[in-house]
Structure 1
Amino acid sequence: MERENSLRERLIDVGVDLVMTEGTASLGLREIARRAGVSHGAPRRHFPTHHALLSAIARRGFAELEARFAAAADGMASPRGQLQEIGRAHVGYALEHRGMFELMFRHDLLDSGTHASDGSRLRDSTLPLFELVVGLITRHRTDRAAAHRPGAPRPAEPSPAVTAAALWSNLHGLAQLWSWGSLPLVLDAPSPGGAPDDGRLDQLVAAVLDAHLGPVAS
């Protein structure tokens, strides 16, 4: 059993290395098996379909992204500050690991049936991350309401979940447009090749938060 588990993890390790270095086009089942040093039929003992193996590889990406979110938010007192750091971590990860990020959010993997032996689905891996953002938005609104001047009008807002979905979509789009070169072009920024290092990423993430949460109170 230990040997079988070792093979399963080795196949995932090889897949992670491939997608990180060569992109999603490299993730053929035969190529993964070859690099793992096993026959092309061996992966079927652990992954009944190619999608099952791809989903297991993508789960590694979600686990790393979750760890980055936790590290980014650590030490930040305000929900708004945590959202700023989480947003930066989200876009930074997307730009640093484009192949893995593309795999993690592939529609055919997320919108699919069970692809794991424990009955879980890949899209379930996104829920803790999304719920974290929803919780921080809820806390931010509570803090803002406590500081609100009595009698001043308060604008109607969508639910925290809807705001989180819009915020997430905006960050995802920011990452995609930067990696494609569209944002560097319109902003007259250096050519894409990773996350911008001139403070522009912080400015862009802050602008996204302002658009969905309102500007930082003075």
Structure 2
Amino acid sequence: MKKRAPAAKRSTAPIRPKPEPGYHHGELQEALIAASEAILAEQGAEAFTLREAARRAGVSPAAPSHHFGNAQGLLTEVAIRGYDALAGALREAASGEQGTRDKLHAQGLAYVDFALRHPGRFQMMFANKRLVADDARLKQASRAAGHAFEVVVAELTGGTAKEAKTAAAAAWSTVHGFAKLALEEKFGSVNNEAGRREIMMTLDQVLNYLWPASGTRR
């Protein structure tokens, strides 16, 4: 009777995921973020899935979890970049004006313009239940966007830091509420350039009522 060959020993070493073909580590992260933003722009936050992000990036369904942990991790990175871009837009808007009221007026326009041009990303930035809400980088990015308002409002009010923060919160609440209503098409269509122009004209009138720009009559 022939003896059976001893069974091969199973390796106890951890199985490491194979690297995705065609991507370096950082490139894959960027591809997944770009794919996620495309989904948000086209279909909104409710349609987002890790599987679809992976499919669009041309990688395996498991790839996103290797880099971001889960859907919350990936969407948090998208939100952080959204806040960074919004803060940049607000600072740029203020830098192009001389008068303080003009700066605040320009920031209000820039805020809503950002929301209209990036509706999926904008809505995800404030969808706390879908993000890692206690992420330190997310909190910092959000504060930076708010600070862009605070700096201008501090110039306008000339009061204490606490008063400036309160006034900045009022300014942010105003334009954020308008942006949310605009995305719900309460002021016109957001799906074409003519509709967006109409929305921005309405916003301009609202801002002139609240904090008139130089040379504007109420």
Q: Give the TM-score normalised by structure 2.
A: 0.76
- Residue in structure 2 matched with residue 40 of structure 1 by the alignment: 61
Q: In structure 2, what residue type is equivalent to 1:137?
A: V
Identity percentage over the alignment? 30
Point out where structure 2 has 5 or more consecutive residues left out of the alignment: 1-18
Point out where structure 1 has 5 or more consecutive residues left out of the alignment: 115-119, 146-157, 185-189, 211-215
- Pick the structure with greater CA Rg: 2
- State how far apart, in whole Å, the 2-side matches of 1:138 and 1:110 are: 31
Conservation of the 8 A alpha-carbon contact between 2:40 and 2:120: yes
SS in 2 for 1:46: helix
Shift of 1:133: 1.1
Shift of 1:168: 0.6
SS in 2 for 1:39: coil
Q: Which of these residues, 127, 134, 140, is aligned with residue 124 of structure 1?
A: 140
- Residue in structure 2 matched with residue 8 of structure 1 by the alignment: 29
Q: In the superposition, relative to structure 1, how do residues 110 and 85 fare at CA in structure 2: closer, same or farther (>3 Å)?
A: farther
Conservation of the 8 A alpha-carbon contact between 1:167 and 1:209: no
SS in 2 for 1:112: coil
Conservation of the 8 A alpha-carbon contact between 1:84 and 1:205: yes
- State how far apart, in whole Å, the 1-side matches of 2:34 and 2:140 are: 21
- State how far apart, in whole Å, the 1-side matches of 2:31 and 2:67 are: 11
Q: Which of these residues, 153, 169, 175, is aligned with residue 137 of structure 1?
A: 153
The alignment status of 1:67 with 2:69, answered yes or no, reads no
SS in 1 for 2:68: coil
Q: Give the TM-score normalised by structure 1.
A: 0.76
Aligned residue pair count: 189
Shift of 1:18: 1.6
RMSD: 2.7
Q: In the superposition, relative to structure 1, how do residues 217 and 196 fare at CA in structure 2: closer, same or farther (>3 Å)?
A: closer
Conservation of the 8 A alpha-carbon contact between 1:111 and 1:123: no
Shift of 1:113: 2.5
- Residue in structure 2 matched with residue 17 of structure 1 by the alignment: 38
